[in-house]
Amino acid sequence: MANSEYEYVKREFELDSLLPPSNWIVVRIDGCHFHRFSKIHTFEKPNDERALRLMNACATSMLEKFPDIVFAYGVSDEYSFVFREETEFYQRRESKILSLCVSYFTSVYVMKWKDFFPNKELKEPPYFDGRVVCYPNLKTIRDYLAWRQVDCHINNQYNTCFWSLVKSGKTEKEAQQALKGTFSKDKNELLSQQFQINYDDEPAIFRKGSCVYRDKVETMVKTDRCGNPIKRTRLVITNANVDIIGPEFWENHPYILREEKCRYENVKKFDINHRLPPCNWTVVRIDICKFEQFSLIHSFDKPNDEAALRLMNASASLMMESFPDIVFGYGFSNEYSFVFQDKTELYQRQESLILSSCTSRFTLFYMMKWKDFFPNKDLVEPPHFEAELLCYPKQKILCDYLSSRQAECHTTNQYSTCFWMLVKSGKSENEAREILKGTLSKDKNELLFQQFHLNYNNEPAVFRKGSCTYRQKVEESADAEGRENTTRERWDVIVAHADMGTEFWRKHPYILRKLDLLG
């Protein structure tokens, strides 16, 4: 595909998520629908030792295949593989690491099946899912492994009791009921008293799970002239069923999870820039934080302060002048959504730069314009905004998003209008909430009309519909020397209060067109 007109599909859409550097990577693999799989293949309950040894054999093959795996821990149908802290396996690309591990594990499981079940055919294919998790230091990776071993103990102790009860004649529901609310000591007593089983004598592979790692082993490589053995220490892949919760194992094997020495050149790797997917409409939605408190401190009118709304619109207009790639804005109350054209390359589509720049710029404009709309009010406390970034692959979905915000504007404003009319009429805020509880839109309209002689549909459109900010073509006269007046075009940012239904977009097809408006 190199140098072809279609190469963009790889360059622009194949985005790799890189795992953060200097973190331990864990790939945890789980059998999918293994309850069904074990039933079909008549695995022994509560544990089938052959099935567990098959899992261990697969884990051993994983360590043989991938040298960057330094430790593995497995129980039942799950296995966790720990990659060394500084691994550069597939450049730490998450999708590559995860898919390769799950695929190879599955393949080995099928190939080795006959080694452990020579008299059983595979009646349906086994398959696994997996996840990748990163842990920042040695303590957390050891805590993760301890958590999995604790989980092994809890599940195995329960299952041992459960299947002992079922094999003794109880139904599965009766066994579940008998174990409901029991603690570890209760289960130990049940096994001892009813079945003469000392849980601590159960095989360690069941109670502790399995650890697979490279152990230091002395092996004889040759003999000297006198016939004395010459030994060398080698790393040999080992399977053990040991306690990894306490410190003893790790103190005896410090080389397994050794932390890498920090190198200054690695620092740059932490500066990971998340880029937005190409050819998606990008929306930055900005909200004033703690708006109720902010509006109370600055004595905004209730339910709507028109000056505050016009201040938001003025700030939005300046945003469109500042960022030509913003093609549309929609706002109401304390929020504004800004739509960037789908092919914007602002900041090379780096999420953090787009988000932070927009939030900072909007805050600046809001503060700069404050005195224009509140000449007799000082800013008592600095306004601050939060923002989120959204991506929509299709224009219709983007329009649906904007319609959802306008629907939210209507719902919120209609409720607030009723609420504050009731409060101003003498009701307490709790009484007003109780009156409006469970009411529908038509109920609120009737309440406003009957109690306050107010037709909601006659309220200012800026309150009911919110504000749309966009560029509109304007013609103006221009004097030209030696000829009659001519007209020229320019694009002005305007604010309108309109329904954003199909008719609006039909009348303004240029707003969301895929060409640069100002080109």
Segment 195-215 mean pLDDT: 96
Using CA atoms, how far apart are residues 187 and 193, in angstroms rounded to an integer?
10
For CA atoms 257, 262, 265, 270, the dihedral sign is positive
Residues β-bridged to residue 370: none
Mean pLDDT computed over 253-275: 69
Secondary structure (3-state) at 226? coil
Cα distance between residue 18 and residue 270, in whole Å = 10
Dump the DSSP string for 147-214. Answer: HHHHHHHHHHHHHHHHHHHHHTT--HHHHHHHHTT--HHHHHHHHHHHH---GGGS-HHHHT-EEEEE
Token pair belonging to 57: 């054999």
**pLDDT tops 90 at residue 440:** yes
Q: What are the tens digits of pLDDT across the range 405-423? A: 999 999 999 999 999 999 9
What is the band of 177 on the pLDDT scale with cuts at 50, 70, 90? very high
Kindly indicate the confidence band of residue 455, based on its pLDDT and cuts at 50, 70 and 90: very high
What is the pLDDT averaged over residues 429-448?
Answer: 95
DSSP conformation class of 266: G
> Which comes out higher in pLDDT, residue 10 or 258?
258
Does 402 score more than 90 pLDDT? yes
For the chain, the structural domain boundaries read: 16-176+203-210, 279-467
For residue 494, which of 458, 467, 475 has the smallest C-alpha distance? 467
Residue with tokens 């790692």: 213
Residue 318: phi and psi, rounded to 5, are -65, -35
Per CATH, domain 279-467 is 3.30.70.3000: yes
pLDDT in tens, 343-377: 999 988 888 888 888 998 899 899 999 999 999 99
Confirm whether 16-176+203-210 and 279-467 share one CATH topology: yes
Whether the CB-CB separation of 284 and 354 falls below 8 Å is answered with yes
State the Cα–Cα distance between residues 493 and 316, nearest whole angstrom. Answer: 10
Which residues have CB under 8 Å from 279's CB, separation 6+? 12, 13, 342, 343, 393
pTM value > 0.95:
no
- Average the pLDDT over 199-221 and give the result: 91
358 closest CA partner among 395, 309, 315, 399 = 315
How much of the chain, in percent, has pLDDT values that exceed 70? 90
Contact between residue 432 and residue 302 where contact means Cβ atoms under 8 Å apart: no
**Cα separations in angstroms, 15 against 101, 142, 150, 181, 356:** 20, 32, 37, 48, 22
- Mean pLDDT of the 129-155 span: 94
Q: How many residues does the chain have?
A: 519
Coil/strand/helix, residue 29: strand
State which H helix or E strand residue 232 sits in. Answer: strand 229-240
Share of the chain above pLDDT 90, in %: 71
Superfamily of chain region 16-176+203-210 = tRNA(His) guanylyltransferase (Thg1) (3.30.70.3000)
